[in-house]
Amino acid sequence: MKSKLTQFFSVFMGSVFLLSACSSGAISNPETAVTLPSPIVTVDSAPDARAAMTLFLEAYKVENYATMYGILSELSQDAISQEDFTTRYKETLNAISLTEIETEILSSLMNPYAAQVAFRVIYKTVLAGDITRDMVANLTLEGDQWHVQWDEGLIMPELIGGNKLVMDYRSPSRGEIYDRNGEPVVAHTDAVALGVIPGQINQETAWQLHNQLSNVTELTPEGVAALYENAGADWYVSVGETTADEAQRLLSANLGGLYITPYSARYYFNGGVAPQTIGYLLSISPEELEDYLRRGYGGDEKIGDAGLEKWGEEYLTGTHGGSLYVVNPEGAIITRLAQSDPGPSSSLHLTIDRELQVHAQNALRGFRGAAVVLERDTGRVLAMVSSPGFDPNLFEPTNANNDGLTALLSNTDQPLVNRATQGQYPLGSVFKVITFSAALSSGLYTADTTYACGYDFVELPDRTLHDWTWEHCQTEIQTSFATDPENALTLNTCPTKPSGDLTLSESLMRSCNPYYWHIGLDLYSSERTQDIANMARAFGLGQATGLGQVAESEGLIEDPTDAIQAVNQAIGQGTVLVTPLQVATFMAALGNGGTLYRPQVIESIQSLEGDATAVFKPEARSTLPLSPEYLQILQDAMISVIKDSRGTANGRLRGYVIPTAAKTGTAESGDGLPHAWFAGYTMAEENTGLPDIAIAVVLENAGEGSDFAAPAFRRIAESYYYGRPQSTYWFETEIGVRYTPTPFGWFPSPTPDKK
């Protein structure tokens, strides 16, 4: 059988011979001459087949299969549908892990009705290197346009006859994640799902079971008991996960009712250390499959879907390898086209301190909110808490406890959201350190400028605003009326009095709202309308901190457009929105002399051999626009918030001896109780040898900052300096055993609270 190229030349040369004979007079007798029909087109007048093939290849380079299919001949389109045509190409390009296509027209031959175009395709791939193929396309003239006569050999010659390409994937083990001390945070290991069957628990030794499970999970003994309190006798109640070694120790204690299920997978220690920051793994979704096939994945791997697991995917997954085979329609291997070896993965080493992180998470158990702990003089993130947290081990299908995933995903408290970096809150009175700075920098105020701080602020023409002391009085009056109506308090007899005459420095210590409303209105009326907003931006608000590896929100700082907005902004209300990470960052700057650092959560990326392939260093972003004199005035005022007997945090932090400068905040949320804030930095390095830290705590709808956020701040600071918390909350009977708030007091309520 003649080849297509031979057939083409036969037709082509025959046409040329016939045309030449006519023109040379070979049929010379006009009476006997045969009149030939005029051709529709001639070689000179036909469109260039190269142009059609160029269009086809240009569409191929961007995988525009609709355009490619439109250039096919009628016979080719009858032979394959556009859907199957597209699928055939995609299957091949996915199999070779394509990244880019390069094409080149090499030559062409034409006659009036047929053409051949030789072309080259270079497939650039992740796993198979560059695959170069020279091919020839036949084209036919239909109407006045050239169309490609398509077969599978135009993808690659090896595919003629229904052959396919198959990649045998080889992937390295996923890299691990460690804390700043080399302690594992995430690692592949033999794990165990822990559960209890209530009917099999020996009630005489149940306390031992509760204590043992408490030791290997984040639950308190009371919390373990509460899990199965209402469960049926034969129910399996999930408790958590632990390592196989720990499970073996539990089994050796012969604890009745304990049920364990081994599995081997990527294990998240402590039920999730900073889970919103670390992230978790998921299977590749159908929507993402093609993208990952093109990146050299086989499609059955698990990938980072959030946090550092997602950011570090390139490092943690290593280099994929594979062997590319041609197989016939029956699945038999014909030949191997290419091969590449996998490369080892890398591990992430964090700035986070695992032990401190766990203590900080425990400090916020039972609250919605966030806490951030930074190394004050470098910006390194030592702990980043978003509460409620979650157990990333639930995303592992082989974990017998993963039925808890449904409840996790439907939790209205949104535990998957990283409140530390993405939560946007009004800052309340913590913002006063910014207004304080703007007042000093304006030249209109000094540290000794006085103001009469009463119950009310009456400088606005159309409304009266009340100080927090007035609001306290109203609560005390209501409480006294509820308990003793005949002797109920009045405003005159209320024990909480206005703060009286205060200097600017004292105003921060007392958190006097009228003073700061006055500053906001004064600056606005003095045509310094942007002073406070600009100072807030200089403190890093209204913009991302540059953390980079973890998603974060920018918050909101707007220039006030009227007096009401100006006074609201002055106390961190109105349109002011901040993230806890932003607050911790500027608190660190206030303590370190004014340097605003970019927060850092990755210390290094290390190879399998332990060599650092990338090291991250502290990076200064900017400097606070405060003179040393003004900065010192502000620092002294923040110290008095705790040390002065009238300071807003003094009462709740009695006995707290770590030198600290801070500010309380109670931010109206617009829904329920206010958000509780407490933020500041320590000054203990000289005495302890440990680097100083900055901490920001926000507890959603908890109440006043001094009552709730300040004790949480204290517990975190104690955990950092002493290795564990040293004090119970005022609303606890012991650490982890809490009370539930009610309108007129606090009464105990058992909960499966974690430690």
Tell me if 545 is assigned to some domain. yes
Q: Could you report the per-residue pLDDT of 475-526, keeping only the tens digit for each? A: 999 999 899 988 899 988 999 999 999 999 999 999 999 999 999 999 999 9
Tens-digit pLDDT profile for residues 532-588: 999 999 999 999 999 999 999 999 999 999 999 999 999 999 999 999 999 999 999
Q: Does residue 741 surpass a pLDDT of 70?
A: no
pLDDT at residue 23 greater than cutoff 90: no
Q: What percent of the chain has pLDDT over 70?
A: 92
Q: Is 249 helix (H, G, I), strand (E, B) or coil?
A: helix
Separation of alpha carbons 664 and 503, rounded Å: 18
Of 350, 380, 409, which residue is a domain's last?
Answer: 350
Q: Given a cut of 60, is residue 167 above it in pLDDT?
A: yes
For 536-551, the DSSP string reads: HHHTTTTS-----SS-
pLDDT for 181 beyond 80: yes
Q: Is residue 407 part of a domain?
A: no
Q: Rounded to an integer, what distance in angstroms lies between the CA atom of residue 208 and that of residue 414?
A: 34
750: pLDDT strictly greater than 50:
no
> Which residues fall within 8 angstroms of residue 48, CB to CB, at 6 or more apart?
108, 110
Q: Which of 104, 135, 157 is the last residue of a domain?
A: 157
What is the pLDDT averaged over residues 87-106?
Answer: 97
In the predicted model, what is the mean pLDDT of the chain? 91
> Element (H or E) spanning 133, and its range?
strand 130-142
Q: Is the pLDDT of residue 255 over 90?
A: no
Calpha distance 409→390 (Å, rounded): 10
Helix (H, G, I), strand (E, B) or coil at 698: strand
DSSP 3-state of 331: coil
Is 609 found in the same domain as 714?
yes
**pLDDT band per the 50, 70, 90 thresholds, residue 46:** low
pLDDT in tens, 67-93: 999 999 999 999 999 999 999 999 999
pLDDT on residue 555: 98
- In this structure, what CATH number is given to the domain that contains residue 78? 3.10.450.100
Q: Which of 157, 183, 198 marks a domain boundary?
A: 157
Confidence of residue 666 (pLDDT cuts 50, 70, 90): very high
Q: Is the pLDDT of residue 698 over 90?
A: yes
Asked if 111 and 15 touch (Cβ cutoff 8 Å), the reply is yes
Tell me, yes or no, whether 593 and 690 share the same domain.
Answer: yes
Q: Are residues 297 and 149 in the same domain?
A: no
Asked if the model's pLDDT at residue 650 lies above 70, the reply is: yes
Residue range 92-96: mean pLDDT, rounded: 97
In angstroms, the CA 755 to CA 737 distance is 8
Looking at the structure, tell me whether residues 443 and 560 fall in a common domain: yes
Residue 340 counted as domain residue: yes
Fill in the amino acid letter for 434: I
Choose among 365, 388, 208: nearest CA to 738. Answer: 365
User: Whats the size of the chain, residue-wise?
Assistant: 755
- For residues 631 and 594, give the distance between their C-alpha atoms in angstroms, rounded to a whole number: 8
List of residues 6+ apart from 31 with CB closer than 8 A = none
The span from the CA of 551 to the CA of 545, in Å, is 11
pLDDT at res. 86: 98
Question: How sure is the predictor about 138, in pLDDT bands with cuts at 50, 70 and 90?
Answer: very high
CA distances from 189 to 184, 241, 272, 303, 319 (A): 11, 12, 15, 17, 21
CATH number at residue 673: 3.40.710.10
Q: Quick one: pLDDT at residue 739? A: 58
| CA–CA separation, 427 and 681 (whole Å) | 17
Within a domain: residue 194? no
Hey, what amino acid is at 121? V
Residue 33 has pLDDT above 70, yes or no: no
* Averaged pLDDT, 171-176: 94
Angstrom distance (rounded) from CA 376 to CA 382: 10
Is 693 a domain residue? yes
Distance CA(608)–CA(170), nearest Å, equals 17
Average pLDDT over residues 133-138: 97
C-alpha pair distances (Å), 53 with each of 103, 116, 136? 11, 10, 10
From residue 279, alpha-carbon distances to 185, 272, 307, 743 in Å are 11, 9, 4, 38
Distance of CA 343 to the CA centre of its chain: 27
Pair (310, 448) in one structural domain = no
Read off φ and ψ for residue 536, nearest 5 degrees: -60, -40
Query: What pLDDT was estimated at residue 749?
Result: 37
pLDDT given for residue 11 in this prediction:
40
For residue 533, the surrounding DSSP H or E stretch is helix 531-538
- Overall number of domains in the chain: 3
Kindly report, residue by residue over 279-303, the tens digit of the pLDDT. 999 999 999 999 999 999 999 999 9
Please report how the helices 82-95 and 286-294 are oriented relative to each other, as an axis angle in degrees rounded to 10. Answer: 50
pLDDT digits (tens, 9 = 90+) for 209-246: 999 998 888 788 888 999 999 999 999 999 999 999 88
User: Is the predicted pLDDT of residue 754 greater than 80, yes or no?
Assistant: no
394 pLDDT higher than 60? yes
In this predicted structure, what is the pLDDT of residue 34?
38
pLDDT at 611: 87
What the block records as the tokens of 750 is 């058992």
Q: Are residues 517 and 631 in the same domain?
A: yes
Residue listed under structure tokens 């440990």: 690
Residue 625 lies in a domain: yes
Q: What is the pLDDT at residue 254?
A: 84
Q: Is residue 635 part of a domain?
A: yes
d(CA 359, CA 719): 6
List the domain range (segments joined by +) for residue 607: 428-454+499-748
Q: What are residue 644's DSSP bridge partners?
A: none
Residues 527, 660: one domain?
yes
Mean pLDDT of 703-717: 97
Banded pLDDT at 24 (limits 50, 70, 90)? very low
Count the Cβ atoms, other than its own, within 10 Å of residue 161: 11
Residue among 543, 537, 536 nearest 572 (CA):
536
Same domain, 437 and 576: yes
- What does the pLDDT average to over 29-34? 38
Q: Reply yes or no on whether the pLDDT at 7 is more than 80.
A: no
Mapping DSSP to helix (H, G, I), strand (E, B) and coil, where does residue 252 land? helix
Q: Quick check: is 26 in a domain? A: no
